[in-house]
Structure 1
Amino acid sequence: MTEMKRNKTLILLVILVSYFMILLDNSIIFTGTVKIAEELHLTPIMLSWVNNAYALTFGGLLLVGGRLGDSLNRKVAFSMGLIIFGLGSLLVAISTTDIMMILSRAFQGVGSAILAPTTLSLLMENFEGNERTRAISAYGATAGIGASLGLVIGGLFASLLSWRDGFLINVPIAMVMLILTAIYVPSSQVHQKQSLDILGSIYSFVMMLSLIYGIVGENARWISILLFVIMLVLFIKRERNFKNPLVPLNLFTNKERLGAYIARFFYMGGMLSLWFLTPQMMQTNLGFTPLQAGIGFFPLTIVNFLVALTVSKLTHKFGNEKLLVVGIFITMVGVSGLILFSPSLGYLLGIALPMILMGVGQGLTLSPLTVSGVAEVNQQESGAASGLVNVFHQIGGSFGVSFISIISQNITDSLKSYHIAMIVTTTLIAIALVAVIILIYSKNLKIIKGR
């Protein structure tokens, strides 16, 4: 292996491991909530804010975090994200009160908001051509595997160790990634030398904060949504007239990118709901422990990983658009299988079999969605585009979980509630499929016919 190839491998490793840490934390919370509530004596409302505080700062600052690497040096921005996330993880792990826990999670979310988009923009900057396709395939695979594998790791910590260890492990990992970044990741060759749009950043933060609270909050949600609409209007007006906008509005004029953003929103709305609700269902209806529920996701995780390894070759052979359509369709079929689940079917037929289909679908979907989300973006705007990919990923997931919770909250029968949730999940993924067909697949069909 040549030194250049070895350096590229290490750069990709740093990017993927850092991204994996963010995804892992979300899943650990899912399987560790019971233990966290018991140890810190949290009320249900305070427990919900352990997740909401992280979601608010993560989602609220994603657009700013994405543009930070474009305005400054991406290596510096990435290192800042690692330091904040690592320190936030340490504070979460040593939390002794509900307030300390919630504030620590909010601080951790700031680090995630910088890390998530800069991982993707660093990848785009350091890889080109087929190398970039393979790297983005690995990045997309990490997005799927990280969330589902996190359920296994979270269950392991909750059952055998402590939920604190699930956060504490981030500290040495972040330190190692920081050292490797300093040694192997080159400084950005292209970045805009101008100050960050401060007013646009404020509008963006308030806008995203009010949107997420409108989705996950307990009180005054409609007021929050109204504030979001007002901030959105002000934000668009600012971005349209400002010389160096936080989010260049031309990113939405490309049909492929727009289709990818919409599809990612609804796809993740469905999949995060599935990751959130299915472990609970396995524990309630099949008597699984948290660890067993996490291991129960192995069919999805392993198949996802194996399929994701083939995505770059399949993309070269069939094209990104066809993979998207096939991948989302197979995911939809797999999720719809869970609508029929009953304890009499057992785990293998009722859960594992649909999960195999979901693993195939997810493996074929997330990487092509990422490719389409940053299609035809220049280097100066890659951070902003990466930020948008992560915004729709994060907001879509929060929306899906909240929307399904509202629909099923008055249903006392847990199995019936799960069936309804899976019907909604299937519908969300179907909407993602329609968006891809109309905005991405049909667009490229017209291009082919035009030739």
Structure 2
Amino acid sequence: MAQLMTQAALGQAIAPLHIIGTYFGLENPGQLSWFAAAYSLTVGTFILIAGRLGDLFGHKILFVAGFFWFGLWSLLAGFSAPAFLLPNAIAILARIYEPGRKKEMIFSLFGATAPSGFTVGALFSSLFAQLVWWPWGYWVCAMVCILLGVAGILVIPATPPPQFDNSVSMWKRADTLGAFTGVIGLILINFSWNQGPVVGWDTVYVYVILIIGVLVIALFFFIEYHAPHPLVPFDAFNSHTAYTLTCIILEELRDVSPLLGTAMVSPTTISGLCAALTTGFILNKVGPSTVMMMAMSGFLVGSILLATVPIGQTYWAQTFVATIVTPWGMDMSFPASNILLSDAMHKDNQGLAASLVNTVINYSISIGLGIAGTVEVYVNNGGKDVLKGYRGAQWTGVGLAGLGLASSILFALSERAQRAKERKKAREEAV
């Protein structure tokens, strides 16, 4: 439910975008993109510290608190971020299941709820926006979150209390300075990328904020390198985790109503479920590198189909095929990357492992909108050629997907070389 509600909230921000924008007097595509970008920004940024807090205070406590917090801000009709939910939900699953087929299948099923959640959120928000009033989508979301929070208290077993060295202060265990610089740096960089298309990159404060953000992130990595309990433990990284996170990072013209638009993307629910279940069955047999290559291929093919689709073409041609192919990218890479990071870390750091993957995913969604928006603004001939601008944004996605595929191929070559080295060593020891 954590994954489903997170994606449902994203869907309810995107599907009725133009109805909500009209209500607030916003029509500029750059300004409208902030609706989704702001949501993904807060999710991706605060997940970074939410997982660590779960490791410190207990994943059940943070999970339940996340639903109540999510419900509160949905009640206030804000674009709230369920950052506390995702890493702690994954951490609870990781602590219950040992590495193996069962854990891989559970993580895959968790990932399979993403397209379903997006479709559910888009459907109900579109219904309320078109037939009643758009705030009702958020108020209903608040009711559901409160009910799920109460259910979490009653149903989820208490996680074992964390064991710590009492000589180390809570501030150091939480890596407060690292959390502060990490969050601030990510927000500044993301804000500049998403504000650039709105006001223009020649506006001084945009690139000044970007420079400051980069410097703060550099300071963050310096702090993490020397911190006794870092948010980003460098000793947990190897070539596999680095390649995996790299792959994850690199992924209005038809005048359709929100409800029709939701119907058009609804096949992603079934396709995503099939992709996630396939991952659960094959991950242990073919390895993470092959799964990541398949996922990146799904992203690339889906992006090419959308970048080249003619405006007047029937939905059942390229668009429908893209909605079938693209979910294989997200719903194969998400469980594979989570399992890889989870198995690489101790049980006491499962919240942190989940935070890393989900931070990269959600932050990439947000900053990707800014990058695509920048391309769109600079190729649409001053707003005269909207189609050309959208094509440019889509081809940007194709380029990023191509980089992701290249990274996954390097990952596969690295994994194959490592296996060959291990086999050679085993033969030498046998002799």
**Coarse TM-score class (shorter-chain normalised):** 0.7 to 0.9
Match of 1:322 in 2: 290
8 A Cα contact 2:109 2:273, kept in partner: no
Match of 1:139 in 2: 110
Q: How many angstroms apart in 2 are the aligned matches of 1:180 and 1:149? A: 20
Name which of 332, 355, 360 aligns with 1:387: 355
Q: 1:249 to 1:432 in 2, by over 3 A?
A: same
8 A Cα contact 2:18 2:27, kept in partner: no
Residues 1:33 and 2:17 aligned together: yes
8 A Cα contact 1:61 1:113, kept in partner: yes
Deviation at 1:264, TM superposition (A): 1.0
Match of 2:180 in 1: 202
Match of 2:246 in 1: 262
Q: How many angstroms apart in 2 are the aligned matches of 1:86 and 1:138? A: 24
Deviation at 1:41, TM superposition (A): 4.3
Q: TM-score, normalised by structure 1?
A: 0.82
Name which of 68, 72, 78 aligns with 1:87: 72
Match of 2:155 in 1: 184
Deviation at 1:53, TM superposition (A): 4.6
Q: How many angstroms apart in 2 are the aligned matches of 1:446 and 1:264? A: 22
Residues 1:115 and 2:115 aligned together: no
The 5 A counterparts of 1:286-365 are 287-365=255-333
Deviation track 1:22-75 (CA, whole Å, cap 9, x = no partner) reads 211112111222222333445758756555554443333221112101121111
Q: TM-score, normalised by structure 2?
A: 0.85
8 A Cα contact 1:266 1:400, kept in partner: no
Q: Which runs of 5+ in 1 are unaligned?
A: 1-16, 93-103, 268-279
SS of 2:15's equivalent in the other structure is helix
Match of 1:404 in 2: 372
8 A Cα contact 1:28 1:153, kept in partner: yes
Name which of 169, 174, 178 aligns with 2:140: 169
Deviation at 1:88, TM superposition (A): 0.5
Q: How many angstroms apart in 2 are the aligned matches of 1:323 and 1:147? A: 23
Q: How many angstroms apart in 2 are the aligned matches of 1:49 and 1:422? A: 18
Match of 2:387 in 1: 415
1:215 counterpart letter in structure 2: W
Q: How many angstroms apart in 2 are the aligned matches of 1:344 and 1:36? A: 27
Question: What do you get for the CA RMSD once the two structures are aligned?
Answer: 2.4
Residues 1:22 and 2:22 aligned together: no
1:262 counterpart letter in structure 2: T
Q: How many angstroms apart in 2 are the aligned matches of 1:291 and 1:234? A: 46
Match of 1:157 in 2: 128
Q: How many angstroms apart in 2 are the aligned matches of 1:56 and 1:325? A: 27
Deviation at 1:262, TM superposition (A): 1.3
Count of aligned residue pairs for this structure pair: 402
Deviation at 1:238, TM superposition (A): 2.1
Match of 1:443 in 2: 414
Deviation at 1:396, TM superposition (A): 0.9
Q: Which structure dedicates a bigger proportion of its chain to helix?
A: 1
Match of 1:277 in 2: none
1:289 counterpart letter in structure 2: S
The 5 A counterparts of 1:277-292 are 280=252, 284-285=253-254, 287-292=255-260
8 A Cα contact 1:149 1:301, kept in partner: no
8 A Cα contact 2:51 2:84, kept in partner: yes
Q: How many angstroms apart in 2 are the aligned matches of 1:46 and 1:415? A: 18
Q: How many angstroms apart in 1 are the aligned matches of 2:89 and 2:220? A: 25
Deviation track 1:235-276 (CA, whole Å, cap 9, x = no partner) reads 22222222222332223x312111121111112xxxxxxxxx
Q: How many angstroms apart in 1 are the aligned matches of 2:152 and 2:292? A: 33
Q: 1:343 to 1:56 in 2, by over 3 A?
A: closer
Q: How many angstroms apart in 2 are the aligned matches of 1:74 and 1:421? A: 39
SS of 1:310's equivalent in the other structure is helix
Q: Which runs of 5+ in 2 are unaligned?
A: 197-202, 424-431
Q: How many angstroms apart in 1 are the aligned matches of 2:188 and 2:330? A: 30
1:156 counterpart letter in structure 2: L
User: Which 10-residue stretch deviates more, 359-368 or 130-139?
Assistant: 359-368
Q: How many angstroms apart in 2 are the aligned matches of 1:348 and 1:80? A: 43
Q: How many angstroms apart in 2 are the aligned matches of 1:312 and 1:350? A: 28
Q: How many angstroms apart in 2 are the aligned matches of 1:330 and 1:53? A: 26
